[in-house]
Amino acid sequence: MDFQKDFPILKSTVNGNPLIYFDNAATSQKPKCVIDALSKYYESINSNVHRGVHELSQKATSEYEETRNIVGDFIGSETPEQIIFTKGTTDGINIVASAWAENQLQKGDEILITTMEHHSNIVPWQMLCEKLGAKLVVCPINDAGEILMDELKKLISDRTKLIAVTHVSNTLGTINPVKEITNLAKENNCKILIDAAQSIPHFKVDVNHLDCDFLVFSGHKIFAPTGVGILYVKKDRFEEMKPYQGGGDMIKEVSFEKTTYNTYPHKFEAGTPNIAGVIGLKTALKYVNNIGIEKISEIEDELLIYAQESISKINKLNIFGNAENKASVISFTVDGIHPFDIGTLLDQLGIAIRTGHHCTQPLMKFFNIPGTARASFAFYNKKSEIDFFIDSLKRTIKMLG
């Protein structure tokens, strides 16, 4: 089936060539139904939520809150009230750092992360550790880009209060054993946050099965608009969280003497939210459900295998990320050629890839490289596009070499 017909931008041209979009790990393209949902909101029900008795406000609130139900079902949460709307993965992690970790951790406590984390799952914890006098502990990986689980076990101590780990590496494509890590966290009486930004578009993510305390992801990775994301919170953790921001909608009653707070999740959703984005997220998840996340996984696995077999035959090309379990990302360098130059020349042929450190500078330091070129696939990509990419890459290397 040709899914590209659902995505208007994929019919466009770049530098006179048909667009081949291989930058899906940075952001996905949006189907027409999502674009239409945004237009429909602004054209027919534009109004603020939760605050009006008039019909437009009631309709907007109904559409908005229905998303909470759809997201809850999509990730397997017990109740929709465990779903907090955020600006994205980064925002979700910062909320956990400020609303939960800041009042649960003390001086000398430890937060455990891994070498492959995105900056969004490093910097907030560094800032918190500096503030509290806590310690950030980093678990090493092997050359294939896999967490050294024996080392992880050794690094967990009675001072470890939180493990924060990516489900899928945005740079390497590594699928981490987060269920096993969650079990380790529970055995050692510490909490776990899973960064699902790169896993949520590719395969089924079930918080009930994972039994995690927190899970975050961004809508724009899963065909929804930018500026909207999800923070899932286990019920027990809500009672340990303080409000992240003050303002409208997170309050129950305000006086100059004292303010009482709303119940969760609204307690953590201060101010007018990204209503259109939330409605767009609902539409995107419905679109994914109509195709089937299992079908998406099957298509993308086939694309990844096909691409890796072809690209690995190119002389002097090095793939970074050769984990046994991997999602649809290929990060590579070519001896003697800067990744930026590869990306620039491929762009002239209409091929969009990502170049740089991918917000994983410590990971680049581990591999002793400045950055990589990264091709990342979605279910709407085609083998014929991969063929053109491989041929173009060979031509580019020949030209630059």
Catalytic positions, written as ranges: 359
Question: Closest by alpha carbon to 194, among 304, 118, 301, 297?
Answer: 118
Report whether 304 contacts 377 (CB < 8 A): yes
The per-residue b/e assignment along 9-38, b for 16 or more CB within 10 angstroms, e otherwise, is ebeeeeeeeebbbbbbbeebbbbeebbebb
Token match 């998303």: residue? 67
Handedness of CA 36, 29, 31, 220 (dihedral sign): negative
The per-residue b/e assignment along 221-246, b for 16 or more CB within 10 angstroms, e otherwise, is bbbbbbbbbbbbbbeebbeebebbee
d(CA 250, CA 92): 16
**Three-state SS at 270:** coil
Terminal CA-CA length for the chain: 38
- CA atoms lying within 13 Å on the CB side of residue 61: 13
What letter does residue 88 receive in the DSSP assignment? S
CA 283 vs. chain centroid, Å, equals 18
Here the tokens at position 96 are: 């956990």
Here the tokens at position 286 are: 């419905």
Maximum Cα interatomic distance, the chain, rounded to a whole number of Å: 72
Cα angle: 285, vertex 290, 292; to 5 degrees = 85
